[in-house]
């Protein structure tokens, strides 16, 4: 604890300090049995702390906006992984880094250590705006109209700890692509931005194609185009307005229907846009010009003479340069992709990678969506030395983002939702490709992706050839299985194709399945035909027929009952997932939370943050109403439903007199500018409302002490 206090004293950031102190206090209350387990789960998830499959330890997810790391930050995370975790840095498909096997009691200290180098855990998990992703090549992409990095960073800063997105119905994902190639896959995000430049009234104007309502998971949806071109100053307020609509109208009971894509299905694009316009008046900013120079300029390394203790293998160097290196838009400089199998980088190699980057690259490392790293501004004359250094630590494997660069989530290694093994399966597949199809390192059209369950953390939902964990029941035994999905892909400019569910096979037949699919494509493809087009031409039934022999369960052998990487027989073990769990609120717990929101509203008003004060006050109304509805066993699935039900059941109650009715009164939030006068009026009404609700509880001897 003394170490934790020391770390806090070094921060000099009151908001962050209080956040970490709150976490430490809630952990203590939870240990003492004074905080409801579901409420505590929600609190820690919003601070990047996720319960692992293994009891008693946590996965800590570090939020790294658009995957950008300085060398110092990489070294800090390495130190954290070694001291608090299992010594491994796991890069995710959302450009985060995860540390596993962390003690819950040490998470405040860990967080304080990270914040000293401007690294946060805040809102890395839970029902919040998750890490905002972007094309890793942003800023150096030869095809980009402009660098989207500052836009991603500004949105990250604006929504961090923003009241409008702290307790959403479920997670919310935003992505920026650097060009129409759409390497950030905007079409599978709640909001996606693709940069464009147009000539408007003789002026070169920056803007974005805007897509909304995409998502993967067990019910994948392609995003719809909200704007073909939205000028840059409107993208932040537009994103805030969408979040306000999602918060107000989004599903909160059935987690399977609690994403923006389902709300968009319910309302349709036209009505959704109208609801967004209704929120515009209440926005804190109606226009926001992103500071294009908000990020530090790249510190370009000098050319250096390097002595190599052994000659560089010319064949290996050639394969690496052809598959992992590209020339930047800044002529004479190169971007270097570092392939990291399964995204797992041990502390020793992570430390050495930071040192290699210091010698040869700019202080701007990017984590990629396929779980690797990108080094920037490497000089041509330094490429051999860089290759040699990477080769020495086994990070110079060729074929970045190729057929043999398979994406996989941790699956049953650590995740509660994992059904069958994804990591060892991916390693088996990479072994097959490396040994039997070595030239496929030059093919970056076919994407192979594996998830441990249908939720698509490994992004199998957009794979050319994808798999997710499943099982068979064979007599009294369970058999590990892989659900095959095919034909997904990125088409560009915000368009894509979702993979289609094909056939389910025993896991141990996965390599044979992969061989059948690759051989079939290599033998029958037309000239230049991409895999997704080949799949469309042949049709799903063709592939089902091709793979059907692998589904025969009459010829099983003992090894089929053991998953890849396991010596024991498979047993189906899944638990309720945490990543986007819905809070199960009890009345008393909810009132404690409401009191806290009221305090936050008062503090925000005192600091003249009127928009925040108004939104916290709004939450007081919603949570207080929900607490009383629970006493009548009335459950609403949305915030708007809570307001409607409260008006129905408590409208006649003389202690709740609201001009025009409770619902209309509360929804004044989107009818007023976030100015001091309205903020004060709204906060005062929220304060009175909370005290009345608490008075009702007091009458029944269940009051919350204020």
Per-residue confidence band for 582, with pLDDT thresholds at 50, 70 and 90: very low
Per-residue confidence band for 7, with pLDDT thresholds at 50, 70 and 90: low
User: Given a cut of 50, is residue 703 above it in pLDDT?
Assistant: no
Lowest-pLDDT range of 29-43, 122-136, 332-346: 29-43
Share of the chain above pLDDT 70, in %: 95
pLDDT at 148: 98
Q: Give CA–CA dist 597/615, Å, rounded.
A: 9
Per-residue confidence band for 577, with pLDDT thresholds at 50, 70 and 90: low
Overall average pLDDT of the 614-625 stretch: 96
Overall average pLDDT of the 573-579 stretch: 59
Q: Give CA–CA dist 547/482, Å, rounded.
A: 12
Lowest-pLDDT range of 321-335, 349-363, 625-639: 625-639
User: Given a cut of 50, is residue 64 above it in pLDDT?
Assistant: yes
- Phi, psi dihedrals of residue 655, rounded to the nearest 5°: -80, -10
User: Given a cut of 60, is residue 579 above it in pLDDT?
Assistant: no
User: Given a cut of 60, is residue 352 above it in pLDDT?
Assistant: yes
617 close to 695: Cβ distance less than 8 angstroms: no
Q: Give CA–CA dist 202/526, Å, rounded.
A: 45
pLDDT digit string (tens) for 243-256?
Answer: 999 999 999 988 88
Q: Which of 314, 548, 342, 525 is nearest to 440 (CA)?
A: 525
What end-to-end distance do the CA atoms of the chain give, in Å? 29
Which range in 19-23, 225-229, 451-455 is most confidently predicted, on average pLDDT? 225-229
Per-residue confidence band for 234, with pLDDT thresholds at 50, 70 and 90: very high
Sequence-distant (6+) residues with CB within 8 A of 156 are 65, 66, 131, 132
pLDDT digit string (tens) for 419-430?
Answer: 999 999 999 999
Who has greater pLDDT, 560 or 696?
Answer: 560
Question: In degrees, to the nearest 5, what angle opens at C-alpha 537 toward C-alphas 535 and 538?
Answer: 65
Distances (CA, A) of 573 to 12, 359, 468, 508, 677: 45, 47, 15, 18, 55
pLDDT at 220: 93
Output the average pLDDT for the chain. 92
208 close to 146: Cβ distance less than 8 angstroms: no
Overall average pLDDT of the 454-482 stretch: 93
Max CA distance (Å), the chain:
87
Per-residue confidence band for 15, with pLDDT thresholds at 50, 70 and 90: confident
User: Given a cut of 90, is residue 235 above it in pLDDT?
Assistant: yes
For residue 243, the SS3 value is: helix
pLDDT digit string (tens) for 644-695?
Answer: 999 999 987 778 888 889 999 999 999 999 999 999 999 999 999 999 998 8
Q: Give CA–CA dist 74/80, Å, rounded.
A: 10
579 close to 130: Cβ distance less than 8 angstroms: no
Overall average pLDDT of the 181-207 stretch: 97
pLDDT at 427: 95
Which pair of structure tokens corresponds to residue 153? Answer: 């960073």
Q: Give CA–CA dist 240/158, Å, rounded.
A: 9
User: Given a cut of 50, is residue 584 above it in pLDDT?
Assistant: no
pLDDT digit string (tens) for 512-532?
Answer: 999 999 999 999 999 999 999
Per-residue confidence band for 581, with pLDDT thresholds at 50, 70 and 90: very low
Per-residue confidence band for 120, with pLDDT thresholds at 50, 70 and 90: very high
Sequence-distant (6+) residues with CB within 8 A of 23 are 43, 44, 47, 107, 108, 111
Q: Which domains does the chain show, CATH number per domain?
A: 2-115 (3.90.480.20), 133-282 (3.30.413.10), 314-392 (3.30.70.3340), 407-561 (3.30.413.10), 587-699 (1.20.120)
Question: In degrees, to the nearest 5, what angle opens at C-alpha 114 toward C-alphas 401 and 161?
Answer: 90
pLDDT at 10: 65
- Phi, psi dihedrals of residue 282, rounded to the nearest 5°: -85, -5
Which range in 34-43, 143-152, 554-563 is most confidently predicted, on average pLDDT? 143-152
100 close to 90: Cβ distance less than 8 angstroms: yes
Instruction: Answer positive or negative: Cα dihedral of 96, 362, 370, 487.
Output: positive
Which pair of structure tokens corresponds to residue 257? Answer: 């229907």
pLDDT digit string (tens) for 502-512?
Answer: 999 999 999 99
Q: Give CA–CA dist 60/496, Å, rounded.
A: 32
pLDDT at 137: 98
Distances (CA, A) of 361 to 6, 117, 380, 382: 34, 20, 11, 9
Lowest-pLDDT range of 28-37, 216-225, 276-285: 28-37
Q: Give CA–CA dist 39/594, Å, rounded.
A: 13
Per-residue confidence band for 580, with pLDDT thresholds at 50, 70 and 90: very low
Centre a 10 Å sphere on the Cβ of residue 530 and count the other Cβ atoms it contains: 16
């Amino acid at each position: 604890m003394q170490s934790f206090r020391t770390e806090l004293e070094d921060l000099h950031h009151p908001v962050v300090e209080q956040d970490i102190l709150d976490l430490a206090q809630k952990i203590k209350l939870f240990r003492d049995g004074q905080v409801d387990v579901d409420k505590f789960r929600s609190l820690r998830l919003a601070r990047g702390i996720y319960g692992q499959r293994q009891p008693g330890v946590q996965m800590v997810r570090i939020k790294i906006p658009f995957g950008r790391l300085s060398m110092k930050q990489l070294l800090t995370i390495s130190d954290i992984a070694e001291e608090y975790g299992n010594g491994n840095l796991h890069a995710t498909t959302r450009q985060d880094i995860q540390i596993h096997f962390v003690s819950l009691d040490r998470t405040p200290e860990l967080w304080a250590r990270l914040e000293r180098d401007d690294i946060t855990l805040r809102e890395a998990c839970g029902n919040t705006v998750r890490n905002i992703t972007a094309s890793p090549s942003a800023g150096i992409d030869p095809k980009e109209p402009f660098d989207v990095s500052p836009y991603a960073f500004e949105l990250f800063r604006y929504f961090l700890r923003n009241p409008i997105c702290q307790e959403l119905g479920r997670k919310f994902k935003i992505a920026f692509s650097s060009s129409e190639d759409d390497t950030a896959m905007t079409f599978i995000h709640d909001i996606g931005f693709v940069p464009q430049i147009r000539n408007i009234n003789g002026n070169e104007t920056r803007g974005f194609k805007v897509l909304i309502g995409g998502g993967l998971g067990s019910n994948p949806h392609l995003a719809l185009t909200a704007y073909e071109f939205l000028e840059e100053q409107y993208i932040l307020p537009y994103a805030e307005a969408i979040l306000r609509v999602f918060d107000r109208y989004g599903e909160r009971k059935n987690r399977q229907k609690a994403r923006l894509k389902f709300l968009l299905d319910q309302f349709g694009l036209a009505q959704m846009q109208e609801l967004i316009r209704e929120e515009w008046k209440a926005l804190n900013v109606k226009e926001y010009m992103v500071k294009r120079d908000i990020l530090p300029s790249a510190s370009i390394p000098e050319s250096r003479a390097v002595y190599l203790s052994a000659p560089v293998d010319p064949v290996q160097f050639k394969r690496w340069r052809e598959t992992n290196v590209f020339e930047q838009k800044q002529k004479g400089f190169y971007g270097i992709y570092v392939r990291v199998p399964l995204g797992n980088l041990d502390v020793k190699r992570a430390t050495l990678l930071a040192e290699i980057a210091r010698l040869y690259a700019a202080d701007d490392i990017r984590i990629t969506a396929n779980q690797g790293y990108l080094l920037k501004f490497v000089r041509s004359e330094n490429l051999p030395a860089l290759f040699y250094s990477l080769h020495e630590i086994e990070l110079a494997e060729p074929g970045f983002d190729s057929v043999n660069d398979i994406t996989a989530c941790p699956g049953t290694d650590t995740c509660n939702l994992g059904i069958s093994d994804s990591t060892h399966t991916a390693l088996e597949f990479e072994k097959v490709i490396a040994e039997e199809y070595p030239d496929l390192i030059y093919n970056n059209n076919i994407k192979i992706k594996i998830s441990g369950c249908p939720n698509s953390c490994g992004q199998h939902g957009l794979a050319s050839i994808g798999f997710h964990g499943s099982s068979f029941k064979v007599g009294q035994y369970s058999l590990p299985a892989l659900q095959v999905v095919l034909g997904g892909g990125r088409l560009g400019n915000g368009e894509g194709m979702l993979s289609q569910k094909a056939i389910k096979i025993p896991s141990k037949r996965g390599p044979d399945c992969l061989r059948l699919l690759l051989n079939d494509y290599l033998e029958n493809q037309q000239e230049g035909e991409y895999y997704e087009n080949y799949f469309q031409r042949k049709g799903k039934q063709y592939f089902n027929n091709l793979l059907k022999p692998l589904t025969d369960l009459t010829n099983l052998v003992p090894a089929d009952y053991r998953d890849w990487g396991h010596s024991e027989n498979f047993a189906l073990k899944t638990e309720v997932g945490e990543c986007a769990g819905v809070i199960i609120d009890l009345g008393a717990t909810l009132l404690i939370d409401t009191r806290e929101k009221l305090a936050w509203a008062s503090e925000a008003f005192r600091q003249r943050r009127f928009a925040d004060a108004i939104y916290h006050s709004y939450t007081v109304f919603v949570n207080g109403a929900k607490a009383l509805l629970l006493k009548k066993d009335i459950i609403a699935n949305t915030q708007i439903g809570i307001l409607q039900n409260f008006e129905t059941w408590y409208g006649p109650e003389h202690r709740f007199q609201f001009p025009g009715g409770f619902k209309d009164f509360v929804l004044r939030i989107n009818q007023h500018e976030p100015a001091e006068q309205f903020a004060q009026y709204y906060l005062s009404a929220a304060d009175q409302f909370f005290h009345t609700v608490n008075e009702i509880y007091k009458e029944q001897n269940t009051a919350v002490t204020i």
